[in-house]
Structure 1
Amino acid sequence: MTDDIRVLLVDDQQLVRRGFRMVLDAEDGLTVVGEAGNGREAVEAVRALRPDVVLMDVRMPGMDGIRATELITAMQPACRVIVLTTFDLDEYAFGGLQAGASGFLLKDARPSELVDAIRAVHRGDAVVAPRVTARLVQLAAPALARSRPRDESRLDVLSEREREVFLLMAEGASNAEIAERLFVSESTVKTHVGKVLRGLGLRDRVQAVIFAYEIGVAGS
């Protein structure tokens, strides 16, 4: 169907790509439009096929998944990239998110988690495997805190309520959790989240968290 989510599979192991394809082909609303065996092939495939979501391996010969992610998100900003890796302490994970990825999952994620992640990033949400969220923050916060002075003035474009929502997003709170904290509906939170992202020129929640660390308002 024309409104299916178009997915590109990128992994240097054919068996891994085949396994992902079997999972996704069984799902309504998802279509695998192509495969690539390394980062360079992935960039060319995105240029030719214009997928909505890319499942991106990290460690591949030639161009790795981090560099490919950076090129793909610059070339086609509407394309969402989910970084996939075997290692829950992978030092490249945060690099992938900084490069523009909208999600990070482990390859041993359940099929339902993979499918949910694809649909979530296509909606504009961010997805980070719970097992690695704390590790990503641990890796990222010290470096960002050293390299960026606190600069809350960059939040001046936000209203007071939008600023509250942004700070809760930076803590990793979901829409439901934000709604509970602020005593508003989830639909209201969703509206505020959209305004926050547009106002700050951010693509998704992952970028919002990174931005919060960069300006020194998270992790302190």
Structure 2
Amino acid sequence: MDDIRVLLVDDHRAVLEGFVARIENEPGVAVAGTAVNGVEALEKAKILKPDVVLMDISMPVLNGIETTKLFSQNHPETKILILTMHDNREYIQKVMESGASGYILKDVSLEEMINAIKTVNDGASYFCQSSSKALFDMVKESRKSENKKNILSQRETTVLALVAKGLSSKKIAQQLDISVRTVETHRQNIKHKLNVSSTAEMVDYALRNKLT
């Protein structure tokens, strides 16, 4: 069975050399080459045809996220494994949207790094433990938000959307042909169901859930 050909991409030469030293003697894995930014990685991929690209996110010229998108378009057969110091939801979400197959931190063990490379090469996804937790939290919050949206009645959703547009209770009442008291009741019910206490929080919720 042929070795998995890996292209290492990082803008710090010392980091690249360290990763080369870590994995070049591992059975089943071969370092095909290195690159210091996304543009160079794409150029080298044309020649080296790596199976897996192990790539940093924060790089000059072309960052890891944009590079991954271009790899997905131009080298769809190549799997991208993001290797980074950043462990936050924003990065992980962008990585998932860009088409990468996995996300690991630079301080993972050599064993986990090799396992991640082999996993994505086989066509599966790989996320290290801390990023998996962040993903789980994202899904949980998304479901919680969706559940909140579902518990609002259609009329309450309409009232909330109008509140978010800046309409007063009086104007909402006129637009919906209901009494101001009814609008106020809807507003109180919305606050209770969403577990918020102010109009600002209602507006924030409406904007985040694209109700306007």
TM-score, normalised on structure 1? 0.61
Contact 1:83 1:105 in 2 (8 A): yes
Percent of pairs with identical residues: 39
Question: Which residue pairs with 2:32 in the alignment?
Answer: 33
Is 2:13 aligned against 1:21? no
Residue 14 of structure 1: how far off its partner (Å): 0.7
Contact 1:83 1:93 in 2 (8 A): no
Question: Which residue pairs with 1:130 in the alignment?
Answer: 129
Q: Which runs of 5+ in 1 are unaligned?
A: 147-220
Residue 101 of structure 1: how far off its partner (Å): 0.6
Cα distance in 2 between the residues matched to 1:135 and 1:4: 32
TM-score, normalised on structure 2? 0.63
Q: 1:55-204 counterparts in 2 under 5 A?
A: 55-89=54-88, 91-139=90-138, 142=142
Q: Which runs of 5+ in 2 are unaligned?
A: 147-212
1:34-78 C-alpha deviation (Å, 9 max, x unpaired): 111011111111122110000010001121000000101211111
Residue 28 of structure 1: how far off its partner (Å): 1.4
Contact 2:55 2:83 in 1 (8 A): yes
Contact 2:80 2:100 in 1 (8 A): yes
Cα distance in 1 between the residues matched to 2:114 and 2:101: 14
Moved over 2 A (4+): 136-143
Question: Which residue pairs with 1:178 in the alignment?
Answer: none
Equivalent position SS for 1:83: strand
Contact 1:102 1:127 in 2 (8 A): yes
Q: Calculate the aligned-residue CA RMSD, in Å.
A: 2.3
Would you say how many aligned residue pairs link Structure 1 and Structure 2? 146
Equivalent position SS for 2:90: coil
Amino acid at match of 1:29: G
Residue 136 of structure 1: how far off its partner (Å): 2.7
Amino acid at match of 2:26: E
Question: Which residue pairs with 2:181 in the alignment?
Answer: none
Amino acid at match of 1:142: S
Cα distance in 2 between the residues matched to 1:41 and 1:10: 9
Question: Which residue pairs with 2:6 in the alignment?
Answer: 7
Question: Which residue pairs with 1:47 in the alignment?
Answer: 46
Q: 1:209-220 counterparts in 2 under 5 A?
A: none
Cα distance in 2 between the residues matched to 1:91 and 1:28: 34
Residue 13 of structure 1: how far off its partner (Å): 0.5
Cα distance in 1 between the residues matched to 2:51 and 2:66: 19
Cα distance in 1 between the residues matched to 2:62 and 2:35: 12
Amino acid at match of 2:142: P
1:154-195 C-alpha deviation (Å, 9 max, x unpaired): xxxxxxxxxxxxxxxxxxxxxxxxxxxxxxxxxxxxxxxxxx
Residue 137 of structure 1: how far off its partner (Å): 4.1
Equivalent position SS for 1:91: helix
Amino acid at match of 1:132: S
Cα distance in 1 between the residues matched to 2:28 and 2:133: 32
